[in-house]
Structure formats: C-alpha cells, structure tokens
Amino acid sequence: MKSSRRPSPLQRLRRMHDQLVAAYGPQSWWPAETSFEVVLGAYLTQNTAWKAVEKSLANLRAVGALTIAGLRSVPLEELRVLVRPSGFSTRKAPALKAFVAMLDEEFSGSLDVLAATPTLALRHRLLALPGVGPETADAILLYALGHAVPMADEYLRRIAERHQLVEPAPGRNRRGYESLVRLTQQAFAADPVEGHTQLFNEFHALNVAVGKAHCGRTARCIGCPLADDLQWTKSDPI
C-alpha cells in the first residue's frame, strides 16, 4: 500500500542510494591503481566492456606506458596498436596523446596541478579535448582528480528513467545527461559538502552493481533492492 505522503524525485533518489548501500555495502571503486590509470581507463572504456579495457591496459603496462612519462614517449602508431583491444583505437590513441599534451602545455605535466583547478573550469577544459564527452570528463574529475561531480552513466539513466525520475532522453543526448547530473547533485545537496566526492563515487559504483545484477537492458525487478521505489511510478518499468 502506498504511504500517504508522496516523496519527491530528489528524496527518492537519495533513498535509493541508502537502499543500495544496505544491499551491497561499500564499493570503494574504480578498478585502477593510480590516478593516471583512471584517466586511461576513462578514455578506453568508451563504447566498450571493461574486459577489453583490461587487455589494452595490460599492453600499456608491458611497455611501461601506464604513466604520464611512458605515454608521452610511446609513438602514436604504437599506441594505436596497444589500445586496439578496446576498440576505436584511431580515435582513442590521439585523444590520449591530446590529454598528455594539454597536461604538459598547461599544467606542468602534473595531475596534481590539473586537480587543483576549480571544478567548473576544469570540466570545461576537459570537455574541450578531443574524444571527451561529459561521462568521460566526469569519470576523470571524480575518480582521478577527486572532484565532487556525479556520474550520470547508462546505468543511472536506465534506473532514473524506469523509475520515472526523469523524462526519457532519446539517444542519450547531452541535455539528458546534464539533467541527470543536476538531479543527483540536488538529491545529495543536504549532505555535508565535504562528503560529496565519496558519496558520488559510491553512488556510481552502486548503480553499476544494481545495473549488472538487475537493471540491464531488461529490468529484472523481482529481488532488486530498488523494487520498493516502483510504488511511486505510474507504470511498470520496461
């Protein structure tokens, strides 16, 4: 039976975080050892599965190119071959080179200097790089550079649309992405600001967890930790 007071979408999204924590526990997530590996992973994972990324990262590790210095010195042609397992290598290899060139020319070749840039300016700069869309920029900001920005990836989009927290965004467009970012920021607005980086980090990882277990291309709602929230939707999820 529905409770009398209908929670807002923001309250529901915040509560979904708590339900996921209760179901899956802390995730402490991003499968990489260094901040620069996170950057590499954020580029390489575009339009491909993480298993393929791991093959590219193993190739890069074998030639010492998992560091800024290593990637700087590897020739572009060789880099294309090394990242081929994760697909789109003719686009991803130059994009990685462009990231390192930006780092060298504008941030003294240092991720720490890059990370010290204010969040909005930094996001704007990353989005101006070739091969960097909002999801890649936010993954770098959050997981490599420690900035408090939410990730609005495909998993969160599916959940939010199926729970009717946002309007469906045809073709994963930029407006849809940004509205999901805003919704998440607002849902956590009452939480202490200093905890936002950790909350956004965990929330993204938890969305991936529930996405893999239940909310993939087909929704498997029975037994899903978020099924209780469906009481507030007007129709069943597709």
Residue showing tokens 């080179």: 97
Say how far residue 219 (Cα) sits from the centre of its chain: 21
Smallest gap from residue 211 Cβ to ligand SF4 (A): 8
When asked if residue 237 is in the footprint of ligand SF4 (CB under 6 A), the reply is: yes
Q: Whose Cβ is closer to ligand SF4: residue 187's or residue 224's?
A: 224
Q: Cβ(63)–Cβ(74) under 8 Å?
A: yes
Q: Which two tokens stand for residue 68?
A: 């800024």
Burial 102-130 (b: 16+ CB within 10 A, else e): ebeeebeeebeebbebeeeebbebbeebe
When asked if residue 214 is in the footprint of ligand SF4 (CB under 6 A), the reply is: yes
When asked if residue 227 is in the footprint of ligand SF4 (CB under 6 A), the reply is: yes
When asked if residue 17 is in the footprint of ligand SF4 (CB under 6 A), the reply is: no
When asked if residue 165 is in the footprint of ligand SF4 (CB under 6 A), the reply is: no
Q: Whose Cβ is closer to ligand SF4: residue 102's or residue 221's?
A: 221
Which of these ranges, 51-59, 127-135, 158-166, 195-203, lies near ligand SF4 under the rule CB under 6 A? 158-166
Q: Whose Cβ is closer to ligand SF4: residue 132's or residue 224's?
A: 224
Bridge partners (DSSP) of residue 215 are 219
Q: Which two tokens stand for residue 122?
A: 């930094």
When asked if residue 219 is in the footprint of ligand SF4 (CB under 6 A), the reply is: yes
With the C-alpha atoms ordered 4, 237, 50, 86, is the resulting torsion angle positive or negative?
negative
Identity at 130, one-letter amino acid code: P
Q: Which two tokens stand for residue 162?
A: 């199926």
Which of these ranges, 39-47, 140-148, 197-205, 211-219, lies near ligand SF4 under the rule CB under 6 A? 211-219
| Residue of 159, 165, 166, 169 interacting with ligand SF4 (CB under 6 A) | 159
Q: Which two tokens stand for residue 99?
A: 């990231």
When asked if residue 157 is in the footprint of ligand SF4 (CB under 6 A), the reply is: no
| Residue of 17, 157, 162, 204 interacting with ligand SF4 (CB under 6 A) | 162
Bridge partners (DSSP) of residue 155 are none
- Number of residues binding to ligand SF4, judged by CB under 6 A: 14
Three-class SS state of 189? coil
Report, in angstroms and rounded to the nearest whole number, the Rg of the chain calculated over CA atoms: 19
Residues making up the chain, counted from first to last: 238
Smallest gap from residue 218 Cβ to ligand SF4 (A): 9
When asked if residue 224 is in the footprint of ligand SF4 (CB under 6 A), the reply is: yes
Q: Which parts of this chain interact with ligand SF4 (CB under 6 A)?
A: 159, 162-163, 210, 214-215, 219-221, 224, 226-227, 230, 237
